[in-house]
Structure 1
Amino acid sequence: MTKGHSSRGALLTANLPQLQNLIKRDPAGYKDEFLQQWNHYQSVMLIFEQRPDEQADRFRELVTFIAQVAQCYPEETASFPSQIASLLLRSFSTLVPDTRKTLVQNLVMLRNKGVIGSIELLQTLFPLLAKTTSAPLRSFIRRTILLDIRTANQKSQNHKLNRAVQAMLFGMLERGMGSEMVGDKGKLRERPADAPRQGMDEAVWAIALAKELWRKSVWNDEKTVSIVALGCLHPSTKVQKAAYYFFLGDDEDEAGSSDEEDEGPDIRQLKHQRLVKKKTRSEDRKIAKAMKVVKKKTKSKTDETTSTNFGALQLIRDPQTFAEKLHDHLQRYDKRLSLDHKVLIMQLLSRIMGYHKLCVLGFYGYIVKYLTYHQLRVTVILVSLAQSVHELTPPDVLLPVIRKIAQEFIHPGVGSEVIRAGLNAIREVCRRQPWSMEEDLLGDLVEYRKSRDKGVMVAARGLLQLYREVNPGLLKRRERGKTASMAESSVTPLPYGHAPKPAEGIEGLELLRAQDEQPQDGPEWDEWEGWDIESDSDASSSSDWIAVSSEDEGDIVISDSEEEATDRQIPTGVTLGTAPAQIAENLATTKILTPADFAILNKGKLESAASSMMKGSRGTKRKALSTANPAEPEAGTFVTEADIMGPRKRVKADYEERMASIHEGREGREKFGSKKGKKSKEVPSSTTNRQKARNKPVMMILSSNAVRGKKRASLREKQQRLRKGKRS
Structure 2
Amino acid sequence: MGRGLLLTSNLPQLQNLIKRDPTAYKEEFLQQWNHYNSIRQIFKIHPEEQAQHFRELVAFISQVATSYPQETAEFPSHISSLLLENYGTLSPDTRKTLVQNLVMLRNKEVISSIDLLKSLFPILPRTTSPTLRSFIRKTILSDIRTANLRSKNHKLNRAVQAMLFGMVERGMDGEVVGDKGKLRASNGPTTDRTAHNGEEAMWAVILTKELWRKGIWTDTKPVAIIALGCFHPVTKVQSASVHFFLGSDEDKEDSDDEQEEEIDVRAMHHRRDINKKTRSGDKKMQKKLNAAKKKRHNKPEAVANFPALQLLNDPQTFAEKLYDILHHYDKRFSLDHKILLMQLLSRVMGAHKLCVLGFYTYIVKYLTHRQLRVPSIMVALAQSVHDLTPPDALIPVIRKLAQEFVHPGVGSEVIAAGLNAIREVCRRQPWSMEEDLLGDLIEYRKSRDKAVTAAARGLLQLFREVNPGMLKRRERGKDASMGLASGTKPLPFGHSADAAVDIEGLALLEDHLQKLREEDDVEMGDEDDEAAWEGWDLDSDSSDDESEGWLDVPDDDGDLNISDSEDEAEKEKGQQEISKTRVSTLATTKILTPSDFALLNDLRIQEASKAVDGGGGSHAKRKLATLEANKKAIQSGQQDNSFISENDILGPRKKAKADYAERMASIQKGREGREKFKSNKGKVNKEVASSSTNREKARNKPIMMILSSGAVRGKKKASLREKQQRLRKHIDKSKKMRH
What's the Cα RMSD here? 4.4
Range with greater deviation from structure 2 (62-71 or 588-597)? 588-597
> Aligned residue for 1:371?
367
**Residue deviations 1:252-304, cap 9 Å, x none?**
114423x1267599999x999xxx9xx999x999999999988877776x32x
Instruction: Please give the per-residue CA displacement for 1:453-490, whole angstroms capped at 9, x wherever unaligned.
Output: 11111110110011111111000111112232223235
User: Which segment is superposed worse, 312-321 or 598-607?
Assistant: 598-607
In structure 1, the partner of 2:330 is: 334
Asked if structure 2 preserves the Cα contact closer than 8 Å seen for 1:626 and 1:635, the reply is no
What's the offset of the Cα at 1:205? Answer: 0.3
The one-letter code matched in structure 1 to 2:625 is R
Alpha-carbon spacing, 1:267–1:723, altered in 2? closer, same or farther (3 Å): farther
Answer yes or no: is 1:501 the counterpart of 2:504: no
Residue 23 of structure 1: which of 3, 18, 38 is its match? 18
Residue 160 of structure 1: aligned partner: 155
Q: Give the 5 Å matches for 1:35-50.
A: 35-50=30-45
Distance 1:358 1:517, change over 3 A: closer
Q: Which moved more, 1:646-655 or 1:432-441?
A: 646-655
Aligned to 1:228: 226
Pairing 1:334-483 to 2, within 5 Å after superposition: 334-483=330-479
Question: Relative to 1, partners in 2 of residues 1:469 and 1:531: Cα closer, same or farther, differing over 3 Å?
Answer: farther
Report the TM-score when normalising by structure 1.
0.77
3-state secondary structure, aligned to 1:363: helix
- Assess, with a 3 A threshold, how the Cα gap between structure 1 residues 630 and 448 changes in structure 2: closer, same or farther: closer
Task: Give runs of aligned pairs for residues 77-116 of structure 1, distance below 5 A.
Answer: 77-116=72-111
Change in 2 beyond 3 A, CA 1:517/1:392: closer
How many residue pairs get aligned? The number is: 633
* 1:55 counterpart residue number: 50
| Pairing partner for 1:215 from 193, 213, 216 | 213
- Which residue of 1 is the match for residue 184 of structure 2? 192
Aligned position for 1:644: 649
Amino acid at match of 2:414: V
Distance change in 2, residues 1:67/1:624 (3 Å) = closer
**1:352-407 CA distance string (max 9 Å, x none):** 11111111111111111111111111100000000011111111111111011011
Could you tell me how far apart the structure 2 residues matched to 1:230 and 1:605 are?
45
For structure 2, which runs of at least 5 residues remain unmatched after alignment? 529-571, 673-677, 679-689, 692-703, 710-739
Which range moved further: 216-225 or 438-447?
A: 216-225
Q: Structure 2 vs 1, CA of residues 531 and 88 (structure 1 numbering), >3 Å: closer, same or farther? A: farther
8 Å Cα contact 1:343-1:380 kept in structure 2: yes
SS in 2 for 1:13: helix
Q: Tell me how far 1:194 sits from its aligned partner.
A: 3.6
Could you say if the C-alpha distance between residues 575 and 429 of structure 1 is closer, same or farther in structure 2, counting changes exceeding 3 Å? farther
Is the 8 Å Cα contact of residues 210 and 224 (structure 1) preserved in structure 2? yes
Amino acid at match of 2:649: I
Residues in 1 aligned to 2:104 and 2:368: alpha-carbon distance in whole angstroms: 60
1:616 aligns with 2:618: yes
CA contact (8 A) 1:576 1:604 kept: no
Q: Residue 326 of structure 2 contacts residue 341 of structure 2 at CA under 8 Å; is this kept in 1?
A: yes
2:123 to 125, 128, 131: 128
Q: Which amino acid aligns with 2:653?
A: R
Distance in 1, Cα, partners of 2:263 & 2:646: 33
- In structure 1, what is the equivalent of residue 202 of structure 2? 204
Distance 1:369 1:619, change over 3 A: farther
Letter aligned with residue 637 of structure 1: S
1:679 is matched with which residue?
none
Aligned counterpart for 2:243 among listed residues 238, 242, 245: 245
State whether residues 483 and 615 of structure 1, in contact with CA within 8 Å, keep that contact through their aligned partners in structure 2.
no
Residues 1:230 and 1:525: Cα distance change in structure 2 (over 3 Å): same
Q: How many angstroms apart in 2 are the aligned matches of 1:333 and 1:265?
A: 34
**Correspondent of 1:117 among 90, 112, 124:** 112
Structure 1 residue 654: Cα displacement:
3.0
Question: Structure 1 residues 593, 181: closer, same or farther in 2, change over 3 A?
Answer: closer
**Distance change in 2, residues 1:588/1:20 (3 Å):** closer
Q: CA deviation at 1:336?
A: 1.2
Provide the residue aligned with 1:549 in structure 2.
none
**1:577 to 1:385, Cα distance in 2 relative to 1, 3 A:** farther
Q: Which entry has the higher C-alpha Rg, 1 or 2?
A: 2
Report if the CA contact (8 A) 1:110-1:116 is conserved. Answer: yes
- Which moves more between the two structures, 195-204 or 644-653? 195-204
Q: Please tell me whether the aligned partners of residues 263 and 294 of structure 1 are also in contact (alpha carbons under 8 angstroms).
A: no
- After superposition, the Cα gap between the structure-2 partners of 1:586 and 1:450, relative to the gap in structure 1 and judged at 3 Å, is closer
Spell out, residue by residue over 1:391-428, the C-alpha distance to the aligned partner (whole angstroms, 9 max, x if none): 11111111111011011111111111111110000000
Judged with a 3 Å threshold, the aligned counterparts in structure 2 of structure 1 residues 60 and 635 are, in CA distance, closer, same or farther, namely closer
Task: Could you tell me which runs of 5 or more consecutive residues in structure 1 were left unpaired when the two chains were aligned.
Answer: 1-5, 533-572, 668-672, 674-687, 690-718
Partner of 2:139: 144
Which residue of the partner structure matches residue 659 of structure 2? 654
- Could you tell me how far apart the structure 2 residues matched to 1:229 and 1:207 are? 10
- Measure the CA separation in 1 of the matches of 2:419 and 2:576: 35
Q: Which residue of 2 aligns with 1:324?
A: 320
* SS of residue matched to 2:583: helix
The sequence identity of aligned pairs, in percent, is 60
Q: CA deviation at 1:98?
A: 0.9
- Quote how far apart the aligned CAs of 1:627 are: 6.3
Decide whether aligned partners of structure 1 residues 655 and 488 sit closer, same or farther in structure 2, where only a CA change above 3 A counts. same
**In the TM superposition, what whole-angstrom CA distance separates every residue of 1:551-588 from its partner, at most 9, and x where no partner exists?**
xxxxxxxxxxxxxxxxxxxxxx9999942589536777
Q: Whole-Å Cα distance in 1 between the matches of residues 259 and 527 of structure 2? A: 56
Q: 1:540 aligns to what?
A: none
CA distance in 1, matches of 2:193, 2:80: 22
Cα contact 2:406–2:418 (8 A) shared by 1? yes
Contact preservation (8 Å) 2:339, 2:377: yes
> Is the partner of 1:584 in helix, strand or coil?
coil
Deviations 1:472-509 (A, max 9, x none): 10001111122322232354211111111112234445
In structure 1, the partner of 2:489 is 492
Matched, 1:171 2:173: no
1:229 maps to a residue whose letter is A
User: Cα distance 1:574–1:505, how it changes in 2: closer, same or farther (>3 A)?
Assistant: farther
Which SS does the other structure have where 2:124 is aligned?
Answer: helix
Amino acid of the residue matched to residue 137 of structure 2?
A: R
Please give the per-residue CA displacement for 1:206-252, whole angstroms capped at 9, x wherever unaligned.
Answer: 00000111111111111011110000001110100000110111121
Using the alignment, how far apart are the partners of 2:706 and 2:44 within structure 1? 80
Task: Provide Cα deviations, 1:503-556, integer angstroms capped at 9, x if missing partner.
Answer: 22344455578669989998x877546899xxxxxxxxxxxxxxxxxxxxxxxx
